[in-house]
Structure 1
């Protein structure tokens, strides 16, 4: 068994990835001023990071399978820290965007490697709970990153949030050096690869299935703010607070993932149950003019069910991937992002042409179909 400090260190690592991706939202104006450009152009820093992350994830996952989880993860944390420090020193937006590309590479190496490491070292029955605990770190980074970055930038300037990321990554690197276990011998992973050779044919379908339900759930969430604003006549600040209920639910779901995995024993059962709840609560929220408290309850339930489904599905993919955990989990990250990018314009067009209800029904149907396909494929593998 690994050190009890491994999971907190891994949670800190993915927390920094989540925070670094979303913390620029309140900082575009000071960044634009610092680089003598407009906020619209400064938003290119977000795009450079996200595109680099999505494009490089499969390569970084493959690298963690070949070069070793510990080595890749520690290198990623060090690169993240150095990149964040360097970004505070560059004079132009173009140089800053180049550095954000490097930050995206570090993020792409971190996420799949962390979850592959958990799958390598944690007993199968406990993997969903461990992954949920670590995902809670990412959820915290996504939820708190913009608020903390905004406060730091207001108090000490735009460089302060990047320096916070750098210090945190150095702390994760130093702690990880001592607690992250050495990589297993290659012979062990070869044996796992041969035992999972028959299941490898279904992994592609598992990836598409997860992309379908996860992408539809996230695409639906993008519409949540506008639904709250128009249906309940909320001001911008109130909409922001209301939408944060989804993040609270996501964190609760991450914490409950282990309990549900033990209760339902097989991850595919947990995924199907959770995604049914996601589809039902998402559709109810988007289509029905219920009172605001009930709408917020739907948003909370939607987030919690997604927070339960995500670690269970990640554990299911890792168990199917054998020695290629890093590559498969990294491809999953890219597929999820592509699914969101593909489903958003489809849902937006359906909403414009036919109304919110058909668009919500479309997303809910895709969510359920993806979960059922994934569970069916997994059961055939067992």
Structure 2
């Protein structure tokens, strides 16, 4: 199978990861019934997956640097398929949560390995565009996963979405067997300190900055629906439609990432501009009582800028990481997830104590701080 199919196969792979992570949202009630528990307790399936993902990602990235991308990625696809299939057979919630931990391990191995593989195979000038195209697959999974899962569960029962994920992962494995190259470079087992130390240090500063701006942007998005409901008196259906504008923007940003990278020539400039736009549009949306059309424009801009910033930062991290691409990109995934887990309760507490505007301003300030830190980090290495 020609190498031109590599990026589409990787996009399908991360699409399944995105769908599997978010598809439980409409399924908590039928899952609670199936496992004889409450929807609140069934939500532990989401937490088990997310925490396993965040905790295991650095180790999985390190393994991919040493063992090679192909083996890790193919094994992760098989594990994901087996996990999804086994979930349809277990009788208890505890067993299902244990399996979701395995699913988190598979996701932790998949996402950073996919982007490290792109960095291994694609020239630096095209990496942001390639990563944006693959991230579009994840965006599609995140956006469509809950809706498709809800329809499947309604028509054929709660097992149907998991069976579809399992079949899709097996199909991706079969395609990946032919598409993923065998000659992927590996990191040295005992790398010595060298001139790569400066880029590596820059990579870790960049991933901390990404944790700030990406974590605050995602945490702010969680509050977007409530802002729309309260400020504009929208009903539930209207809020759902309005919030989907953010997802549209995210997809547009992913598609424009390659063009934007070529336009600005350097990911450093693109990353700084995009993160500042994220901070400005998010803060304006959350703190200022603008008209609904302007608010939707802010949501669209916020999503599009984030859709450009994410692949640009991933490409830049891969370039700075040297031989440790897998480890650095995996650590970035962990930092992003942990940032969201920390910032959500902090923002919620601030909102309950001081009101929504101060809480929103806090998130905007953290996002802008991350943008400034990104600018500082990239300037130190140019």
TM-score normalised per structure 1: 0.96
Is 331-340 or 108-117 further displaced after alignment? 331-340
Q: Is the 8 A contact 1:351 1:357 kept in 2?
A: yes
Distance in 2, matches of 1:216 and 1:38, equals 30
| Structure 2 counterpart of 1:125 | 125
Take 2:23 and 2:379, find their aligned partners in 1: how far apart are those partners?
40
Q: What SS does the aligned partner of 2:290 have?
A: coil
Determine if the alignment matches structure 1 residue 381 to structure 2 residue 381.
yes
C-alpha distance 197-380 of structure 1, shift in aligned 2 (>3 A): same
Label 1:190 to 1:263 Cα distance change in 2 as closer, same or farther (>3 A).
Answer: farther
Aligned to 2:11: 11
Identify which range, 288-297 or 129-138, moves more after superposition. Answer: 288-297
In 1, Cα distance between equivalents of 2:187 and 2:234: 59
**Is the 1:57–1:105 contact (alpha carbons within 8 Å) kept by the matching residues of 2?**
yes
284-293 vs 116-125, greater mean Cα deviation: 284-293
1:211 maps to what in 2?
211
What do the CA deviations read for 1:327-347 (whole angstroms, capped 9, x no partner)?
Answer: 000000111111112222332
Mapped to 2, the partners of 1:87 and 1:260 lie a distance apart of 42
Deviation at 1:185, TM superposition (A): 4.6
**1:305 and 2:308 matched:** no
CA–CA distance in structure 1, aligned partners of residues 332 and 149 of structure 2:
29
Once superposed, which parts of structure 1, at least 4 consecutive aligned residues long, lie more than 4 Å away?
Answer: 185-195
Asked whether 1:78 is paired with 2:107, we answer no
Gaps of 5+ in 2: none
Equivalent in the alignment of 2:56: 56
Q: Counterparts in 2 of 1:1-382, with a 5 A limit?
A: 3-186=3-186, 194-382=194-382
Judge which range, 213-222 or 69-78, deviates more.
213-222
Q: Which moved more, 1:13-22 or 1:175-184?
A: 175-184
> 2:340 & 2:34 partners in 1: Cα distance?
32
Deviation for aligned residue 1:79: 0.6
TM superposition shift of 1:282: 0.9
Cα offset, 1:355, TM superposition: 3.0
**Aligned alpha-carbon RMSD (Å):** 1.8
Counterpart CA distance in 2 for 1:325 and 1:7 is: 18
Alpha carbons 1:282, 1:298 under 8 Å: kept: yes
The change in CA–CA distance for 1:233 and 1:138 in structure 2 (over 3 A counts) is same
For 2:187 and 2:201, locate their aligned partners in 1 and report how far apart those are by CA, in whole Å.
23
Residues in 2 aligned to 1:290 and 1:173: alpha-carbon distance in whole angstroms: 48
Q: Do the aligned residues in 1 keep the contact of 2:68 with 2:186 (CA within 8 Å)?
A: no
- Give the Cα separation in 2 of the matches to 1:46 and 1:352: 25
- Does the CA-based 8 Å contact 1:77-1:172 persist in structure 2? yes
Helix, strand or coil for the counterpart of 1:141?
Answer: helix
Residues 185, 228 of structure 1: alpha-carbon distance in 2 compared, 3 angstrom cutoff: closer
Alpha-carbon distance between aligned partners in 1 of 2:360 and 2:351, rounded to the nearest angstrom: 8
Taking a change above 3 Å as real, the CA distance of residues 186 and 85 of structure 1, as seen in their structure-2 partners, is: closer
Conservation of the 8 A alpha-carbon contact between 2:120 and 2:185: no
Q: Cα distance 1:194–1:8, how it changes in 2: closer, same or farther (>3 A)?
A: farther
Q: Tell me the alpha carbon deviations over residues 66-101 of structure 1, each in whole angstroms, 9 at most, x when there is no partner.
A: 110010000000110111111111111111111111
State the shift of 1:204 in Å.
Answer: 2.3
Tell me which moved more, 362-371 or 174-183. Answer: 362-371
Whole-Å separation in 2 of the counterparts to 1:266 and 1:191: 28
Normalised to the residue count of structure 2, the TM-score between the two structures is 0.96
Once the two structures are TM-superposed, the CA of residue 199 in structure 1 deviates from its matched residue by 1.9
SS across alignment from 1:381? coil
Aligned residues: 381
Q: Deviation of residue 297 (structure 1)? A: 1.2
Gaps of 5+ in 1: none
TM-fit CA distance, 1:212: 0.7
